Chains A and B, each alone.
Chain A
Amino acid sequence: MAEEARTENVVIPAEEGEQLIIQPLGAGQEVGRSCIMLSFKGKKIMLDCGIHPGMNGYASLPFLDSVDVEEIDLLLVSHFHLDHCGALPFFLEKTKFKGRCFMTHASKAIYRWLLSDYVKVSNISTDDMLYSEADLVNSMDKIETVNFHQETEINGVKFWCYTAGHVLGAAMFMIEIAGVKILYTGDYSRQEDRHLMAAELPNVRPDVVIIESTYGVHIHEKREDREGRFTGLVHDIVNRGGRCLIPVFALGRAQELLLILDEYWSNHPELHDIPIYYASSLAKKCMSVYQTYINAMNDKIKKQITMSNPFVFKHIINLKSMEQFEDIGPSVVLASPGMMQSGLSRELFEAWCTDKRNGCIIAGYCVEGTLAKHILSEPEEIVTMTGQKLQLKCSVDYISFSAHADYQQTSEFLRELKPPHVVLVHGEANEMGRLKAALVREYEDNEEYKMDVHNPRNTVGVELHFRGEKMAKVVGSLAAQKPKDGQQISGILVKRNFNYHVMAPEDLPNYTDLAMSTVTQRLSIAYTGTIPLLQFYLTQLAGDMEHIKVKEKPALRVFKSVTIIFDSTRMVVVEWTSNPVTDMYADAVVTVILRAERDPMPQKAVPRAIRVDKHHFQECMLDMIQEMFGPDATSKLIRGDKMTVTVDDNTAIVDLDTLEVTSASESLQSIVHTAVNRLHQAVTPLKS
């Protein structure tokens, strides 16, 4: 029965596996199309789902075909940049993904407009389009929002997020599966700036940290120096009568620059005549998001909001289109795109680059092959969009406002968290390699703490092993007394989402929404014989029988669990409460009834029930022993309640009361023991 089943070697279900696999589908030794798969204990989680900005169409997607999308339980999106959420509408609308998707409130609000802009701008052929505006709108329904620090549990996967600092709404996710904690930083920055807080330091220690490595081993300039240099440069350019062009990415760092400029202008009344233009319709759309999700920003902004909204700028003019722009005299223009591939920033640059009074300030991370990267090498000439060559006379400066962690921040962050495993993602192969080497070097002499640093390539999984410890809570009546050493515990183990509880069956409804229940069975069988006849047959089967009355009808109860009711002269009803044992008894009873029905005997012919008493059993046993070991093995008569069996000089003594056998020879003992017990079982009726 139940015990037998347990002794079988049960195959461990796959989900009990203790292997944690971290597999980048994108952003493995590259920057762009962040997408990382986690799988542990049968749970599959995807982190981010971006596109590669340097590629088009399907080529820009992460390697989604190397996983079974249907099996993914959860998708967490860290922030609204295209390389982290760009493939999301495709993934949610055009794949078989059935899990749930989460991001923060601010990310979701900006995602909607950023991707809508991307759909409009990306001028690839319609067959190659990953998704349309309609897909984007539909995808909004499938995205759920979480607040920072809010804990959410989905099928045993618990997660919550910390602020990451990188852009508004950027989150670092802490994921806990069966006690193993994994931190995914997304893009993060540990430096507080004008509107965002620094990335938080989680107060729990993760077992694995998946961390960005964009800047490798670089170290950033101090914030004050950087801002000073920036405002100084802008001031110089407009002072010398020039126009200052700042190509920026529409959202994210641009807001930071605007805050800096707005404040600088407020402090310098002499500059009030010089206009600052901000040319991005997307940014205008998203300004209300910035004005609303103040709670995701730093304390300074939160305090300021009580007086006036800092994102209602006083000195910045929003530029709807180029027609609106009157290019007369000095001005400051922030225009997208940030790397001057095309669009407004390119147009303005081409118009202004020939005048040496003008200046261009590159404020962000530039990718190889773009004009922004090219002019940083200070060429003599540039090529315009139309193929014309222009002399580059204006000043070009590079001040990085990119909010990614540098080596110092990464190193400190990891030093605080001390994770046993670090997985590097989101970094160009060489930078990543350098960072790995630097981190390994940092801890190579440390004996107490060892950090494993991994930098997997795309689709290559890092396998980590966690032998999760299983803790069970013993509750209810089983735990009524203080636990003692060696105490036996028998009860039901309830496993839900990697939590184990042990309780007595009666406590089940108190601690779970399950209940113990019973099934009673009533089986009607045609029986035309008499009661004594059935009684006769039953006594041969069952050792205990009671005569009872059920609803004024005669009934028999055997094995203390099965009731046979004589319903009418033609029918008996067998009634019992199900469980494997009683089902077996009932089956036996049914067989007996069928036998009695088939083999009717007149009332008088019913023999007296055979009395199976000790004496009878002893006679049977003597016969059996003599059959087995020869007539000389034992004496013909039994004195007392002991019987001696002698075989080949070995002697076994059988206790007739307890049926225990003692002998010097082990083989004899077991032979006799088995024989005696089997005989007993065969001769005497069953008792429950």
Chain B
Amino acid sequence: MTSIIKLHVFSGALDESPPCYLLQVDEFRFLLDCGWSENFDMTMIKELKRYVNQIDAVLLSYPDNIHLGALPYLIGKCGLTCPIYATIPVYKMGQMFMYDLYQSQHNTSDFDLFTLDDVDLAFDKITQLKYSQTVTLKGKGHGLQITPLPAGHMIGGTIWKIVKDGEEEIVYAVDYNHKKERHLNGCSLEMFNRPSLMITDTYNASYTQSRRRLRDEQLMTTILQTMRNDGNVLVAMDTAGRMLELAQLLDQMWRSTESGLSTYSLALLNNVSFNVIEFAKSQVEWMSDKIMRAFEDNRNNPYQFKHLKLCHNLAELSRIPEPKVVLASTPDLQSGYSRDLFIAWCGNSKNSIVLTTRTSPGTLARELIDNPQLRCITIDVQRRVKLEGAELEEYQRKKQDKGLNDSRSKIQQMTIEDESSDESEAEMDVDGLYHLKGKHDLMMKSEGKARTGFFKQAKKAYPMFHFHEEKIRWDEYGEIIKPEDYTIAEIVQPEEEVKKPEKGPEDEKMQEVTDLPTKCVSSTVTLDVNARIQYIDFEGRSDGESMRKILERVKPRQLVLVRGTPAATETLAEFCTSSSLIQGKIFQPKVGDSIDATTESRIFQAKLRDHLVTSLNFSTARDVELAWIDAQLNYIESDEPVDSNTLSEERNKKEKDSELIPTLDCLPSNKVPTHTSVFINEPKLSDFKLVLLQEKIPCVFVAGVLICDNKVAVRRNKAGKIQLEGTLCNEYYRVRDLLYQQYAIV
């Protein structure tokens, strides 16, 4: 019996591109994560597209773009339809990440890779799981079980365990963090013991972190210094992952009276900040033990912020008095408010900019991290402006044309429908689409938001009656809405550079309602970087040292190293080879490679006859009982009467379904072969010393040798085996007896 295990790498191997792998276990194919780089690299998608129909399930490990960014595109544009598995926080926060990413892109450019509908569609397909909840796959995946386990790093972060036939264990663990943090527990990798295959990243393999306290202090000092100098601090953060850790840290800092920070402002700025915090509040059971206990004991919810103000756009932010510390997305400074703020603030030497994550090479943030001395940079500035003059006329003319076209095609459609006797599918589709559009975003209907003062004012500033006119275009059958219609309707959303007093982006209607024609312009500007730029690591990943320790503990039989610079991957591979941790192969695939990790899985099941088990002589070692067994395999159906009480129907059925399970039966006593006794579970010499002392045999360690009663020596020889030495005397045999008792001898 062999089970085929193959891994195809789409992205994220021997480099720092986002992880995306296709794992094949027998007939079943898992897509492990589907990240998308900050600049939406299409080459990987092209490759992935060819495999879309083969994918049977998607497993997501973290909610950020790097781990699930391509999901909406795959579902919306490539027709991926398989089930997707993720934990509840990954589902919720992932959605937030995607909304924020879309909105950030959309605010400044004509973003058309996916729409908010695609996001909703994609997340509707997710089966939400809890940690340690085992899902047994059916159909093609018969015999496979998947279990998410805590990974740290981000809320809901997952190490996936895939088990084949209850024996072959595959572990997919990337970006895990074994350390406890403020809001999360560490990962639970140590519970694995010799999985048959482990897929892990080498991102941090040759990276050493300074201690958490030092990093916290560094941030604190930066903030304090800048605040006292009347400057602003921009902290580039992700939307809903690591942000939670930092937000809690900062709010705590602000709360402590000694810090003297409470006079300054603290703000969280991203397109979905309200919802993210609301969700975080309701996910206490996914957070660290400390937070859980605090909540159970005192009902303290750490995300009930005292000082952190939630903002959704720059206008809201501008109302917060300076000097201020702003946590803004995205961490890469490629898009989003962090980029806007960077452009606005980098020129002033009073300001500070804190980068928290090493994003992909090529992004602005990475460039700043890699070249700390950079004083002048040239970047593209994109922004959305209202159409004016000729352009506006052009736009309106086009729109009219389109209206005409639409009505024309509508008539056509109707005639077609008249001809077709049964209900047209096209019509259904349109209906479905409309329906989806209507209910799409959870964040949109946010009433809670209405309570902030800004929001109400914003509402007044822009009444939204334009839209109903548009709606007239819908008749009861619906019309054929060309995709272009949608795109335009969505793009035309004015989100101008500084002056953005319109509704919060949560407002659903905004997407469809606002009909102010805008366009995106792009210009290249050269900026002087005078602000203090600092990289303080808040990535929350295990560093190289710990990764090695964890690997030593886990001892996978085969190892696949992915995602990490070639040098880092080489370091880790070297370490594994030199310490001969891995019995099997160590794979270091590169992007586009397929590797075959198929091993002969030597396993079969057999029933144990009761009289065989009762005849065994068990000895105990730690938590296991061991016995030598000599038995014969029989393929004969058990002749004992099958008691309906004892065998559940399920099991009966299973037996019939699968091939006959052999029975292990006693050998006739004259056929029992002899065997050499096996000593199992070597004791530690120090433990053995305690045993001897208990038996009142005086003993001492002399240069690593345990000397008992000056007559007998117990030592480890060069091969690490225990050696007993002594002269012929009673003590020798007493010590020997005691030593034998430490072993399980079968």
Residues of A whose CB lies within 8 Å of any CB of B are 1-3, 5-8, 10, 12, 16, 105, 108-109, 112, 137, 140, 145, 147-152, 155, 160, 204-205, 207, 285, 288-289, 291-295, 303, 305-309, 420, 464-480, 482-497, 500, 502, 505, 508, 510-526, 578-581, 590, 594
Give the distance in Å from the alpha carbon of A590 to the alpha carbon of B673 in the complex.
29
Please, which residues of chain A bring their CB within 8 A of the CB of B673?
488, 490
Per-residue contact bits, chain B 328-371, to A (CB 8 Å; 1 contact, 0 not): 00000000000000000000000000000000000000000000
In the assembled complex, the CB of A472 is this many whole angstroms from the nearest CB of chain B, namely: 5
Please, which residues of chain B bring their CB within 8 A of the CB of A207?
648
Of chain A, the residue at the smallest CB distance from B722 is A519
Of A149, A295, A510, A520, the residue contacting B723 (CB under 8 A) is A520
Say yes or no: A309 contacts B602, CB within 8 Å.
no
Of A105, A160, A306, A471, the residue contacting B278 (CB under 8 A) is A306
Of A468, A479, A489, A513, the residue contacting B664 (CB under 8 A) is A489
Assess whether B724 is interfacial by the CB under 8 Å rule. Answer: yes
Say yes or no: B664 contacts A502, CB within 8 Å.
yes
Say yes or no: A469 contacts B646, CB within 8 Å.
yes
Say yes or no: A484 contacts B646, CB within 8 Å.
no
Which among A148, A149, A469, A524 has the greatest number of chain B C-beta atoms within 10 A? A469
Assess whether B132 is interfacial by the CB under 8 Å rule. Answer: yes
In the assembled complex, the CB of A670 is this many whole angstroms from the nearest CB of chain B, namely: 15
Please, which residues of chain A bring their CB within 8 A of the CB of B644?
420
Say yes or no: B608 contacts A470, CB within 8 Å.
yes
Give the distance in Å from the alpha carbon of A594 to the alpha carbon of B729 in the complex.
12
Please, which residues of chain B bring their CB within 8 A of the CB of A523?
725-728, 732
Give the distance in Å from the alpha carbon of A204 to the alpha carbon of B651 in the complex.
11
Of B623, B664, B669, B732, the residue contacting A7 (CB under 8 A) is B669
Please name 27 pairs of A and B residues whose Cβ atoms are closer than 8 Å in the assembled complex, sorted by A: A6-B628, A10-B614, A295-B88, A306-B275, A306-B443, A307-B446, A467-B643, A467-B646, A469-B651, A472-B606, A474-B606, A480-B600, A485-B633, A486-B632, A488-B633, A489-B629, A494-B624, A502-B606, A508-B680, A517-B743, A518-B722, A519-B723, A520-B724, A526-B727, A578-B724, A579-B677, A594-B728
Of chain A, the residue at the smallest CB distance from B557 is A510
Say yes or no: A305 contacts B284, CB within 8 Å.
no
Of B282, B602, B628, B650, the residue contacting A475 (CB under 8 A) is B602
Of A309, A492, A515, the residue contacting B626 (CB under 8 A) is A492
Give the distance in Å from the alpha carbon of A12 to the alpha carbon of B614 in the complex.
6
If over half of A's interface residues share one DSSP class (helix, strand or loop), that class is named, otherwise mixed; here it is: mixed
Of chain A, the residue at the smallest CB distance from B675 is A490
The answer to whether residues A151 and B633 also contact, given A205-B648, A465-B645 and a CB cut-off of 8 A, is no
Say yes or no: B285 contacts A105, CB within 8 Å.
yes
Assess whether B445 is interfacial by the CB under 8 Å rule. Answer: yes
Give the distance in Å from the alpha carbon of A330 to the alpha carbon of B57 in the complex.
59
Give the distance in Å from the alpha carbon of A109 to the alpha carbon of B675 in the complex.
58
Per-residue contact bits, chain B 703-741, to A (CB 8 Å; 1 contact, 0 not): 000000000000001000111111110001000100110
Give the distance in Å from the alpha carbon of A16 to the alpha carbon of B616 in the complex.
13
Instruction: Scan residues 149-208 of chain B and give those whose CB is less than 8 A from a CB of chain A.
Output: 166-167, 193-194
Please, which residues of chain A bring their CB within 8 A of the CB of B275?
306
| Interface-lining segment among B294-302, B574-582, B585-593 | B294-302
In the assembled complex, the CB of B287 is this many whole angstroms from the nearest CB of chain A, namely: 10
Give the distance in Å from the alpha carbon of A294 to the alpha carbon of B603 in the complex.
44
Say yes or no: A306 contacts B442, CB within 8 Å.
yes
Assess whether B746 is interfacial by the CB under 8 Å rule. Answer: yes
Total interface residues on B, CB under 8 Å, equals 109
Say yes or no: A473 contacts B617, CB within 8 Å.
no
Say yes or no: A205 contacts B649, CB within 8 Å.
yes
Given pairs A285-B299, A420-B648, 13 additional interface contacts (CB within 8 A)? A7-B615, A10-B616, A16-B613, A289-B299, A293-B284, A306-B442, A485-B636, A486-B634, A489-B632, A489-B664, A492-B678, A496-B624, A522-B725
In the assembled complex, the CB of A140 is this many whole angstroms from the nearest CB of chain B, namely: 6
In the assembled complex, the CB of A504 is this many whole angstroms from the nearest CB of chain B, namely: 10
Please, which residues of chain B bring their CB within 8 A of the CB of A473?
166-167, 603-606
Of B603, B622, B721, the residue contacting A518 (CB under 8 A) is B721
Assess whether B618 is interfacial by the CB under 8 Å rule. Answer: yes
In the assembled complex, the CB of B733 is this many whole angstroms from the nearest CB of chain A, namely: 10
Give the distance in Å from the alpha carbon of A474 to the alpha carbon of B166 in the complex.
13
Assess whether B667 is interfacial by the CB under 8 Å rule. Answer: yes
The answer to whether residues A109 and B295 also contact, given A467-B646, A472-B608 and a CB cut-off of 8 A, is yes
Say yes or no: B662 contacts A2, CB within 8 Å.
no
Say yes or no: B682 contacts A515, CB within 8 Å.
yes
In the assembled complex, the CB of A314 is this many whole angstroms from the nearest CB of chain B, namely: 11
Of chain A, the residue at the smallest CB distance from B631 is A489
Please, which residues of chain B bring their CB within 8 A of the CB of A112?
296-297
Assess whether B321 is interfacial by the CB under 8 Å rule. Answer: no
Say yes or no: B724 contacts A306, CB within 8 Å.
no
In the assembled complex, the CB of B618 is this many whole angstroms from the nearest CB of chain A, namely: 7
Assess whether B448 is interfacial by the CB under 8 Å rule. Answer: yes
Assess whether B134 is interfacial by the CB under 8 Å rule. Answer: yes
Say yes or no: B442 contacts A307, CB within 8 Å.
yes
Instruction: Scan residues 1-29 of chain B and give those whose CB is less than 8 A from a CB of chain A.
Output: 1
Give the distance in Å from the alpha carbon of A476 to the alpha carbon of B583 in the complex.
14
Which among B299, B557, B672 has the greatest number of chain A C-beta atoms within 10 A? B299
In the assembled complex, the CB of A160 is this many whole angstroms from the nearest CB of chain B, namely: 8
Say yes or no: B725 contacts A472, CB within 8 Å.
no
Which among A12, A483, A511 has the greatest number of chain B C-beta atoms within 10 A? A483
Say yes or no: A514 contacts B622, CB within 8 Å.
yes
The answer to whether residues A492 and B629 also contact, given A292-B282, A295-B282, A518-B679 and a CB cut-off of 8 A, is yes
Say yes or no: B626 contacts A495, CB within 8 Å.
yes
Say yes or no: A490 contacts B603, CB within 8 Å.
no
Say yes or no: B629 contacts A306, CB within 8 Å.
no
The answer to whether residues A474 and B625 also contact, given A493-B616, A508-B680, A519-B723 and a CB cut-off of 8 A, is no
Of B130, B166, B626, B732, the residue contacting A493 (CB under 8 A) is B626
Give the distance in Å from the alpha carbon of A86 to the alpha carbon of B676 in the complex.
58
Of chain A, the residue at the smallest CB distance from B95 is A306
Give the distance in Å from the alpha carbon of A208 to the alpha carbon of B665 in the complex.
30
Say yes or no: B299 contacts A512, CB within 8 Å.
no
Of chain B, the residue at the smallest CB distance from A465 is B645
Assess whether B409 is interfacial by the CB under 8 Å rule. Answer: no
Say yes or no: B282 contacts A149, CB within 8 Å.
no
Of chain B, the residue at the smallest CB distance from A418 is B649
Say yes or no: B724 contacts A522, CB within 8 Å.
yes
Per-residue contact bits, chain B 655-666, to A (CB 8 Å; 1 contact, 0 not): 000000110100
Assess whether B131 is interfacial by the CB under 8 Å rule. Answer: yes
Say yes or no: B728 contacts A590, CB within 8 Å.
yes
Say yes or no: B681 contacts A515, CB within 8 Å.
yes
In the assembled complex, the CB of B581 is this many whole angstroms from the nearest CB of chain A, namely: 13
Say yes or no: A10 contacts B615, CB within 8 Å.
yes
Please, which residues of chain A bring their CB within 8 A of the CB of B732?
523
Assess whether B216 is interfacial by the CB under 8 Å rule. Answer: no
Please, which residues of chain B bring their CB within 8 A of the CB of A520?
717, 721-724
Of chain B, the residue at the smallest CB distance from A153 is B132
Please, which residues of chain B bring their CB within 8 A of the CB of A495?
618, 624-627
Of B627, B675, B724, the residue contacting A519 (CB under 8 A) is B724
Per-residue contact bits, chain B 128-140, to A (CB 8 Å; 1 contact, 0 not): 0111111000000
Please, which residues of chain A bring their CB within 8 A of the CB of B607?
469-472
Say yes or no: A108 contacts B602, CB within 8 Å.
no
Please, which residues of chain A bring their CB within 8 A of the CB of B130?
147-150
Say yes or no: B605 contacts A489, CB within 8 Å.
no
Give the distance in Å from the alpha carbon of A492 to the alpha carbon of B717 in the complex.
26
Say yes or no: B610 contacts A517, CB within 8 Å.
no
Assess whether B466 is interfacial by the CB under 8 Å rule. Answer: no
The answer to whether residues A292 and B603 also contact, given A3-B672, A517-B680, A520-B721 and a CB cut-off of 8 A, is no
The answer to whether residues A511 and B194 also contact, given A295-B88, A307-B446, A487-B632 and a CB cut-off of 8 A, is yes
Of chain A, the residue at the smallest CB distance from B721 is A518
Give the distance in Å from the alpha carbon of A465 to the alpha carbon of B643 in the complex.
11
Say yes or no: A472 contacts B680, CB within 8 Å.
no
Please, which residues of chain B bring their CB within 8 A of the CB of A489?
629-633, 664
Say yes or no: A525 contacts B727, CB within 8 Å.
yes
Give the distance in Å from the alpha carbon of A3 to the alpha carbon of B681 in the complex.
21
The answer to whether residues A109 and B299 also contact, given A292-B284, A521-B724, A580-B677 and a CB cut-off of 8 A, is yes
